[in-house]
Chains A and B, each alone.
Chain A
Amino acid sequence: MSGPVMKLLLRRLLTLIPTLILVSLLLFCILRMLPVDPAAMSLPPNATNAEIEAMRIEMGLDKPLIQQYGIWFGNIIHGDFGASIHYRTAVSKLVLDTLPATIELALAAMVFATLFGVLGGLWLFYTRGGVVESVLDLGTVALLSIPEFLWGLFFMLLFGVSLDLLPFIGRLGAGVDRPETITGFLLIDSLLAGSPLTFLDAIRHMILPSVALGLSAAPPIMRILRSTLMDVYQEDYIHQARQRGISEGRILIFHALKNAFLPTLSLMGVQFGFLFGGTLLVEIIYSYPGMGNLMVDAIRNADLPIIQTVGLTYCVMVLLISMVVDVLYLVLNPKLREA
Chain B
Amino acid sequence: MTTFNRRDILQLLGIGTAGAMLPARAVLAATGKDTVTMAWPSDVPSWDPNKRFSPDAQSLFKLVFDQPILQAPDLTLIPSLMTEWELAADGLSLRFALRDDVSFHDGTPMTAEDVRFSFFERLQSGEKLDIGNSWKHITDIEVTSPTSGVFRFSRPAPTAPEWLAFMGSFVVPKAYMEKVGSEAFRDAPVGTGPYKLVDYQMNSRMVFEANDAYWGGAPEIKKITVDVIKDASARVAAVQSGQADLTINIPVRETERLDKIYGITGEINPITRVILLQMRNDGEFASDNLRLAAHHAINKAALSKAFYGGAAVPLSVVAPPGTPGDVAGYDFAYDPEKARALLAEAGFSADNPARFKMATTNGHFPSDFDIARALLQMWKKVGIEVELEVIEYAKYFELNRGHKLPAATLYSWDNATGDPEIFTGYLLNPNMPFSSWKGEQPGDQIPALFQQPDYDKRIAGYQKLNREATEMGATIPLLQSVQTLARKSDLSYLKFQNGWVLGNTMSWG
Residue of B nearest to A101 (CB): B204
Q: Count chain A CB atoms within 10 A of each CB in B43, B230, B244 and give the residue with the most.
A: B230
Q: Does B180 lie at the interface of the complex (its beta carbon under 8 Å from any beta carbon of A)?
A: no
User: Are B231 and A284 in contact, CB atoms less than 8 angstroms apart?
Assistant: yes
Interface residues on A, range: 35 or more
| B203 and A293 within 8 A (CB) | yes
A323 sits at the interface (CB 8 A): no
Pair A285/B234 contact, Cβ less than 8 Å? yes
Interface size of B in residues (CB-CB distance below 8 Å): 66
Tell me, yes or no, whether A237 is within 8 Å of chain B by CB. no
Binds B, one of A104-112, A294-302, A326-334: A294-302
B31 touches which one: A47, A165, A175, A200 (CB < 8 A)? A175
Contact of B12 with A by CB under 8 A: yes
In the complex, the answer to whether A46 meets B30 with C-beta atoms within 8 Å is no
Say yes or no for A19: interface residue by CB 8 A criterion: no
B20 within 8 A of A: yes
Question: Within the assembled complex, what's the spacing in Å between the Cα atoms of A98 and B242?
Answer: 27
Set of chain B residues within 8 Å of A3, measured between Cβ atoms? none
| Interface 9-mer from B44-52, B270-278, B493-501 | B44-52
Is A193 on the interface with B (CB-CB < 8 A)? yes
Give Cα A243 to B128, complex, Å.
79
Q: Does A263 contact B (CB under 8 A)?
A: no
Q: Is the CB of B433 within 8 A of A45?
A: yes
Residues in A with CB closer than 8 Å to B238 are 168-169
Can you name the residue of chain A whose Cβ is closest to the Cβ of B128?
A88
Taken together as a complex, chains A and B put the C-alpha atoms of A204 and B233 apart, in Å, by 20
| Chain A residues whose CB sits within 8 angstroms of the CB of B243 once the complex forms | 160, 167-169, 174
- What residues of chain B lie closer than 8 Å to A194, measured between beta carbons? 2, 4, 8
B24 touches A164 (CB 8 A): yes
**A196-B15, A199-B12 known; A46 vs B202 contact (CB < 8 Å):** no
Q: Are A37 and B398 in contact (CB under 8 A)?
A: yes
B448 at the interface (CB under 8 A from A): no
Indicate if the CB atoms of B204 and A45 lie closer than 8 Å.
Answer: no
Interface residues of A in 1-48 (CB under 8 A from B): 35-37, 40-48
Residues of B within 8 A of A48 (CB): 433
Residues of A within 8 A of B16 (CB): 200, 203
Residue of A nearest to B53 (CB): A44
B23 within 8 A of A: yes
Interface presence of B89 (CB below 8 A): no
Q: Is the beta-carbon distance between B227 and A94 smaller than 8 angstroms?
A: no
* Residues B220-263 near A (CB distance < 8 A): 225, 227-231, 233-234, 237-238, 240-244
Which of B292-300, B344-352, B389-397 lies at the interface? B389-397
| Closest B residue to A47 using CB positions | B133
Given contacts A168-B234, A193-B2, contact A86 B130 (CB under 8 A): no
Instruction: Give CA–CA (A197, B16) in the complex, Å.
Output: 9
Taking CB atoms, residues of chain B closer than 8 Å to A285 are 231, 233-234
Docked Cα-Cα span, A169 to B432, in Å, equals 41
Q: Is A82 an interface residue (CB 8 A)?
A: no
Interface centre among B132, B203, B204, B434 (most CB of A within 10 A): B203
> How many inter-chain residue pairs (CB < 8 Å) link A and B?
177
CB-contact partner of A297 in B2, B11, B203, B231, under 8 A: B203
**What residues on A are CB-neighbors of B30 within 8 Å?**
175
Known contacts: A161-B241, A301-B394. The answer to whether A88 contacts B20 by CB under 8 A is no
Please report which residues of chain B, range 415-447, place their CB below 8 angstroms from some CB of chain A when the two chains form the complex: 426, 432-434
Residues of B within 8 A of A35 (CB): 395, 398-399
Contacts A40-B398, A169-B229, A288-B204 given; indicate if A88 touches B133 (C-beta within 8 A): no
A83's nearest neighbour on chain B, judged by CB, is B128
- Residue pair B20, A207 in contact (C-beta under 8 Å): yes
B395 & A289 in contact (Cβ 8 Å cutoff): no
Please tell me if the beta carbons of B432 and A46 are within 8 angstroms of each other in the complex. yes
Contact call A156/B23, Cβ cutoff below 8 A: no
Residues of B5-58 contacting chain A, CB below 8 A: 8, 11-12, 15-16, 19-25, 27-28, 30-31, 35, 37, 39, 43, 45-46, 51-52
Q: How far is the CB of B234 from chain A (nearest CB, A)?
A: 5
By beta carbon, the residue of chain A nearest B1 is A192
Q: Is B183 an interface residue (CB 8 A)?
A: yes
State whether B12 touches A170 (Cβ < 8 A): no
Distance in angstroms between the alpha carbons of A192 and B37 in the assembled complex? 28
Chain B residues with CB under 8 A of A199: 12
> B-facing mask of A168-184, CB < 8 A → 1, else 0?
11111111011000000
B23 touches A165 (CB 8 A): yes
Task: Say yes or no for B122: interface residue by CB 8 A criterion.
Answer: no
- Within the complex, the shortest CB–CB distance from A194 to chain B, in Å, comes to 4
- Cβ–Cβ < 8 Å partners of B225 in chain A: 174
Are B23 and A170 in contact, with the CB atoms below 8 A? no
In this assembly, does A191 line the interface, its C-beta being within 8 Å of a C-beta of chain B? yes
Say whether B95 faces chain A, with CB atoms less than 8 Å apart. Answer: no
User: From residue A116, how far is it (CB to closest CB) to chain B in Å?
Assistant: 17
Q: Is the CB of A289 within 8 A of B52?
A: no
Question: Shortest Cβ distance from A155 into chain B, in angstroms?
Answer: 11
Contact with B along A74-100 (1 / 0, CB 8 A): 000000000000111100001001100
Question: 1/0 per residue A40-64: CB within 8 Å of B?
Answer: 1111111111011000000000000
Minimum C-beta distance from B62 to chain A (A): 19
| A164 and B25 contact, Cβ closer than 8 Å, known pairs A170-B227, A207-B20 | yes
Check: A287 CB closer than 8 A to any chain B CB: yes
Specify the chain B residue showing the minimal Cβ separation from A169.
B227
Asked whether, in the complex, the Cβ of A45 is within 8 Å of the Cβ of B434, the reply is yes
A166 at the interface (CB under 8 A from B): yes
From B35, B130, B201, B426, A44 is in contact (CB under 8 Å) with: B130
Q: Which of B81-114 contact A (CB under 8 A)?
A: none
| A267-305 contact mask (Cβ, 8 Å, vs B): 1 or 0 | 000000000000000001111110001101100111000
| A175 close to B227 (CB less than 8 A) | no
**Is A115 located at the chain interface by the 8 A CB criterion?**
no
Contact B46 A88 (CB under 8 A): yes
B117-130 interface code vs A (CB 8 A; 1 in, 0 out): 00000000000101
Residue A132 is within 8 A (CB to CB) of chain B in the complex: no
Q: Which residues does chain B contribute within 8 Å of A241, judged by CB atoms?
A: none
Closest to A186 in B: B201
Given contacts A164-B241, A196-B15, contact A36 B395 (CB under 8 A): yes
Within 8 Å CB of B228, what residues of A? 287
- Find out whether the CB atom of A287 lies under 8 angstroms from the CB atom of B234: yes
Would you list the 7 A-B pairs with minimal beta carbon distance, nearest first?
A289-B204, A194-B2, A302-B394, A44-B133, A174-B225, A161-B241, A44-B130
Q: Provide 12 A-B residue pairs closer than 8 Å at the C-beta atoms, listed in order of the A residue.
A: A35-B395, A35-B399, A40-B398, A41-B397, A45-B397, A160-B243, A161-B240, A170-B204, A175-B28, A196-B4, A196-B11, A197-B15
Q: Which residues of B contact A (CB under 8 A)?
A: 2, 4, 8, 11-12, 15-16, 19-25, 27-28, 30-31, 35, 37, 39, 43, 45-46, 51-52, 128, 130, 132-134, 183, 186, 199, 201-205, 225, 227-231, 233-234, 237-238, 240-244, 392-395, 397-399, 401, 426, 432-434
